[in-house]
Amino acid sequence: MTSPFARSELSAQPQRHILCMKWGTKYGPEYVNRLYAMVRRHLQGDFNFVCLTDNAQGIRPEVQCLPIPSLDLPPGIPERGWTKLTTFAADLHGLRGTALFLDVDVVVTGPLDEFFTHPGEFLIIHDHKRPWRVTGNSSVYRFELGAHPDVLEYFRGHFDEIRQQFRNEQAYLSDVLHKQGRLQYWPASWCPSFKYHCIPTWPTNYWQPPFVPEDARIVIFHGECNPPDALAGRRNRRFRFIRPARWVAEHWRE
């Protein structure tokens, strides 16, 4: 039997890749399986779906499971997404072409084709909470595989310095590419935040359910609420009461 971690033997022909990452126990294989299904429904044509993971068990066979490159972080420090920086390896398992990285807990609600055709060298979500800063949200970003090895190489050689200056990987990544003049953002309507854009304002959140904003393509989840939480609703917070977002079930399925 071929190992799910066997090295990719893809041809040199440029391809479209969807990348995601799953490590540890926070997210089960169902997150990867549902993400693949959502992408398949919303992206026309051929693509290669890759999950960088430390455990391929339970992941559907259409997904190419590959090991996460080692980052060699000091033991015991908060992870804060630093592992995502391994996607910028000079040689990521021999993959070539354009990669669209998606967090496993996003919900795809609209067409994805333009994520591969929208102009820009490196595209990321503009931070919703502090739009006056250059920081992007790395739930969704696009780049050419192998085109930015300096991002990872500098991180590996200056981790202590970077950790003191930046809270997480997306702040560091955005700063580096902004200084290089390569940082660009997705159209604001494409990747709304469930937390900031889908929940009706107080007090209407008590009688109006969360909604999908117009022209939303990928709804991102950050903070304490993930797709199953949104689907179930939340009643234990007076000003953060959330009625069940039933549309999550329509999209977040295999």
- Looking up residue 78, the CATH number of its domain turns out to be 3.90.550.10
pLDDT of amino acid 238: 64
Of 146, 150, 156, 139, the closest CA to residue 177 belongs to 150
End-to-end CA distance of the chain: 26
Q: Evaluate whether residue 20 is within a structural domain.
A: yes
90 and 150 in a common domain: yes
Nearest 5°: the CA angle 111, 25, 57 is 75
pLDDT of amino acid 237: 66
pLDDT of amino acid 235: 83
Structural domain harbouring 220: 194-251
Which of 185, 205, 237 is the C-terminal boundary of a domain? 185
Residue 34, SS3?
A: helix
98 and 72 in a common domain: yes
180 and 201 in a common domain: no
Q: For the chain, what is the domain count?
A: 2
157 and 102 in a common domain: yes
165 and 47 in a common domain: yes
d(CA 35, CA 52) in angstroms, rounded, equals 14
Q: Evaluate whether residue 64 is within a structural domain.
A: yes
233 and 108 in a common domain: no
pLDDT of amino acid 73: 77
208 and 154 in a common domain: no
Q: Evaluate whether residue 228 is within a structural domain.
A: yes
Q: Evaluate whether residue 93 is within a structural domain.
A: yes
pTM score > 0.85 for this model? Answer: yes
Q: Evaluate whether residue 5 is within a structural domain.
A: no
136 and 107 in a common domain: yes
Which of 145, 160, 185 is the C-terminal boundary of a domain? 185
Q: Evaluate whether residue 19 is within a structural domain.
A: yes
Helix axes 169-179, 149-157, angle to 10 degrees: 120
Is 124:136 a contact under the CB 8 Å cutoff? Answer: yes
52 and 165 in a common domain: yes
59 and 165 in a common domain: yes
Q: Which helix (H) or strand (E) segment is 132 a member of?
A: none
Q: Evaluate whether residue 9 is within a structural domain.
A: no
pLDDT in tens, 16-52: 999 999 999 999 999 999 999 999 999 999 999 999 9
140 and 214 in a common domain: no
Q: Evaluate whether residue 2 is within a structural domain.
A: no
Sheet (strand 183-185) strand order = 64-66, 48-53, 15-22, 97-102, 136-144, 122-126, 183-185
Which of 136, 162, 185 is the C-terminal boundary of a domain? 185
d(CA 135, CA 128) in angstroms, rounded, equals 10
59 and 27 in a common domain: yes
Q: Can you list the residues of the chain whose pLDDT is less than 50?
A: 1-13
